[in-house]
Amino acid sequence: MSRPIPAMTTISRRHLLGLGAAVGAVSLLPASFRTAMALPPAPGGLKGVEHVVILMQENRSFDHYYGTLQGVCGFADKTVAPTRDGGTVFAQPTSGGGHQLPFLVREARDAGANDIEYIASLPHSWADGGRAWNNGWEDNWIAAKGAATMAAYDRRDLPFQFELADNFTICDHYFCSITAGTSPNRNHLVSGKTGDEPGGVRRAVDNAVYAETHTGYDWPTYQQELQRAGVSWQILQEWDNFTDSNEEYFRPYKELTRRVLSRVPGVWTNMESFYGAVLRADENRRRTLLDQLEAALAQVSPADRELFDRALSRRPAGTLAATFADQVARDALPRVTHLVANSEDCEHPAGSSPIEGSQLVHDLLQAFGDNPAVWRKTVFILTFDEFDGYFDHLLHPVPPRSVSEEWWDGLPTGLGPRVPMLVVSPWTVGGRVNSQVFDHTSVIRLLETWTGVACNQISDWRRSVTGDLAGVLDLAGTPTPSLPPLTRPGPVPPFTSRWKPTPPQQQQLPRQEAGVRPADALPYRLDASYDPGADRLQLTNTGKAAVNVAVLDLNGGGDPLHRVVSGRLVLPLNQTGTSGTTARAGAVREIVVLGPNRFRRDFRTDGTLLVTASSDHGAGLLRVAISNTGETPLTIELTDAATGPGTGTGEVTRIQLGARASITRTIDTCAMHGWYDLIVRAGDNRFWITGHLENGAPSITSPFTPDGRHDVPAARCAPTPSPSATPSPSPGPTTAGPGTPTPTAAPTGTAVPPAPAVKESVGGLANTGRHR
């Protein structure tokens, strides 16, 4: 749908907010809006928020849109999950026995003959979503979706979307609520769950509700709870709402629709049939239909009229942004507003495009720029309902099978793959990244915290593994300087046809923008250790929020499992069905533990080498205990990605460890802003310890990549004394052997200075002072 296009201005090339992200030759945010960004938010913390506005767009995965954005967990994710064939989830198996990496749409073999704005929609149903998930291994995307699933964009393709992320908080652990299509995901946004179809014959995991004969869902929506509590709300939508307002598919609204439309001449089965006729009609017929609808509404009760106006009323084509702008100008927004885009503006790859969606968002933000007093007290949430069929690499949390309400037909009903989420508000200015786990119900939880109105539909499991979006808001609200004028995104290229990108012949993982970004503090403090003798894991989380971890048993014969960790959890692998077999004495076990924000522990051990990490999050210290349980001395190689030059794997330290001896190293992570990345090797044994220590303060995104390490801002670190490098007491009867580390050459391909200048020694581990 067309909208009036504001006058266009341009600016010169610049850096945004000092983050170092490359941008195009123009800024695409509305000029007045950029001025409003410099204003401090309304005082009072969360009480200063007066309006929450929610726009849920259509069908894009996180990697598909933002996998190349600086700082986020994207294509440079060093901790990407491994696969059973020795690769990673990035390399998806193909039918011919090969593998396919993600690729840029603009580099597709058939890109020259097509427009990158108009790629096609892919399979995205409950059934094919389950096939791609493949019992948690996430290694069947191409078989389920086709090779085009690996297509992605970069900044050149999505300049407006990237500029939003440059200026506001992007959530890179925000998952859709279910590995399925539009309707079940939007059910979670409006009600906190997707329950059963009428009659209870099956779970509502597809789009069956679009059928004209559907009688409506019978559990309450959150908007109904707001209505009962006297909290104002509305749904703004046009005659064409692309069937994206799921509120109208619940029984009270179905019944209200019948009461109203029964008074309109003709046969109308639902709002879609009536407004579809309005949209297709000529001007005279359209006016007649709308007059008849108004006459029908005059005959219903005041309560019915109010509910219709809040939830079911639709507006002329192309007027969503103008209607919203009028309400903002009059300071007439209700407390909660859901915006529903039309089919051309919703970014769905079947009928829309990224640039059309960016124009809509631009015009909505323009309303705040023209009325900064309203901007100061508003949170604008921009997210996507589901991933269409486009690949995302991050394993999504799923419940244990004991949580029956979150399983159906042998598959978990949550969570689904990641989708984009940006929180645009005076409390989220600054281009930060938030890596707490969220899903669509997190939006409701923000509203719960803010309004005090509870939603009883969100499962206990979902509440335990996902956060409240209120945690994204920096309630101190530091304003930023005003920024120069801009231009509106566009123009929209002429439509030609939809196409499915064909991967290029030469494969290369898309390069993610270099550098780090500011990162929000997270409520997780996770650790994991493995006892090979008992074949069990110990998982601990001393953070304020529970955390989902995924456990991959690479040689045990079973499928990945997920557990919620709050406090201490002992997980005996050979008794859970995960490994499938009892661990054999002397056998090499390969266990991988994955958590949010690039937490990873790899345990490859035959039992002769034990490596355990424990974290002092408040002090920023990581203690690594290394034990030789055998009767033969071992040569230990410890690789620290935080030391040495910024390319390669990091500096290598060699430690001679005697039989039945142990040694402890303490790593000060201050210079890396809490980040650590260590590999301990000896023979067939390999342990990888990487992640971030949380001290309650903002930090930066991960500096570690497969190619090396990003430059990082200088950190204020207190001087650390250099203790002696004496070994720990032996755990066995044999006298402890030597434990003093000595620098040595790195493995082939790793650049390490032959004699680094030692700045300090912490527990005997050399620290070169080369942190960047």
User: For the residues of 109-163, what is the DSSP string, one character each?
Assistant: TTGGGS-GGGBPP---SHHHHHHHHGGGT---HHHHH-GGGGEE--TTT-HHHHH
Retrieve residue 482's tokens: 């005003």
Q: Do 177 and 61 lie in a common domain?
A: yes
Retrieve residue 182's tokens: 């539009």
Residue 753 has pLDDT above 50, yes or no: no
Q: Is 341 domain-assigned?
A: yes
Residue 729 has pLDDT above 80, yes or no: no
Average per-residue pLDDT in the chain? 88
Q: Tell me, what's the pLDDT at 559? A: 93
Strands (E) across 477-554 are located at 518-519, 526-531, 536-541, 547-553
Q: Tell me, what's the pLDDT at 772? A: 25
| Spatial CB neighbours of 343, under 8 Å, sequence gap ≥ 6 | 240, 242, 351, 352
- 348-353, Cβ contacts within 8 angstroms, sequence gap of 24 or more: 348/57, 348/58, 348/59, 348/121, 348/242, 348/388, 349/59, 349/60, 349/119, 349/120, 349/121, 349/122, 349/388, 349/498, 350/59, 350/120, 350/121, 350/498, 351/242, 352/58, 353/117, 353/118, 353/492
The pLDDT confidence band at residue 586, using thresholds 50, 70 and 90, is low
Residue 657 has pLDDT above 60, yes or no: yes
Strands 589-595 and 547-553: antiparallel
| Spatial CB neighbours of 187, under 8 Å, sequence gap ≥ 6 | 193, 194, 195, 204, 217, 246
Q: Do 508 and 529 lie in a common domain?
A: no
Q: For the ranges 8-17, 156-165, 588-597, which has the lowest average pLDDT?
A: 8-17
Residue 53 has pLDDT above 70, yes or no: yes
CATH number at 101 reads 3.40.720.10
Distance of alpha carbon 584 from alpha carbon 242, whole angstroms: 57
Q: Do 498 and 553 lie in a common domain?
A: no
Task: Among 484, 515, 546, identify where a domain stops.
Answer: 515
Q: Tell me, what's the pLDDT at 40? A: 78
Q: Tell me, what's the pLDDT at 574? A: 73
Q: Do 82 and 126 lie in a common domain?
A: yes
Q: Tell me, what's the pLDDT at 26? A: 57
pLDDT digits (tens, 9 = 90+) for 96-134: 899 999 999 999 999 998 999 999 999 999 999 999 999
Arithmetic mean of pLDDT, 604-620: 95
Q: Do 183 and 326 lie in a common domain?
A: yes
Q: Tell me, what's the pLDDT at 14? A: 26
pLDDT digits (tens, 9 = 90+) for 693-710: 999 999 999 999 999 999
Q: Is 215 domain-assigned?
A: no
Task: Among 495, 515, 535, identify where a domain stops.
Answer: 515
Q: Is the peptide bond before 491 cis (omega within 30 degrees of 0)?
A: yes
CB 359 within 8 Å of CB 318: no
Q: Do 480 and 555 lie in a common domain?
A: no
Q: For the ranges 142-151, 546-555, 727-736, which has the lowest average pLDDT?
A: 727-736
Q: Do 631 and 679 lie in a common domain?
A: yes
Residue 583 has pLDDT above 50, yes or no: no
Q: Tell me, what's the pLDDT at 579? A: 40
| Nearest residue to 270 (alpha-carbon basis) of 212, 355, 198, 345 | 212
Arithmetic mean of pLDDT, 395-423: 95
| Nearest residue to 756 (alpha-carbon basis) of 748, 747, 740, 745 | 745
Q: Tell me, what's the pLDDT at 719? A: 66
171 secondary structure, DSSP code: E
Residue 725 has pLDDT above 70, yes or no: no
Q: Do 504 and 528 lie in a common domain?
A: no
Distance of alpha carbon 633 from alpha carbon 372, whole angstroms: 69
Q: Do 665 and 577 lie in a common domain?
A: yes
339 Cα distance to chain centroid: 21
pLDDT digits (tens, 9 = 90+) for 441-488: 999 999 999 999 999 999 999 999 999 999 999 987 665 554 444 568
709 vs 586, higher pLDDT: 709
Provide the domain count of the chain. 2
Q: Tell me, what's the pLDDT at 762? A: 28
Q: What is the pTM of this model?
A: 0.89
Q: Tell me, what's the pLDDT at 720? A: 53
The pLDDT confidence band at residue 432, using thresholds 50, 70 and 90, is very high
Burial class (CB in 10 A: 0-12, 13-18, 19+), 444: buried
Domain range for 94 is: 1-36+50-198+220-241+314-515
Residue 572 has pLDDT above 70, yes or no: yes
Retrieve residue 80's tokens: 């990407």
Retrieve residue 560's tokens: 């990945």
Residue 757 has pLDDT above 80, yes or no: no
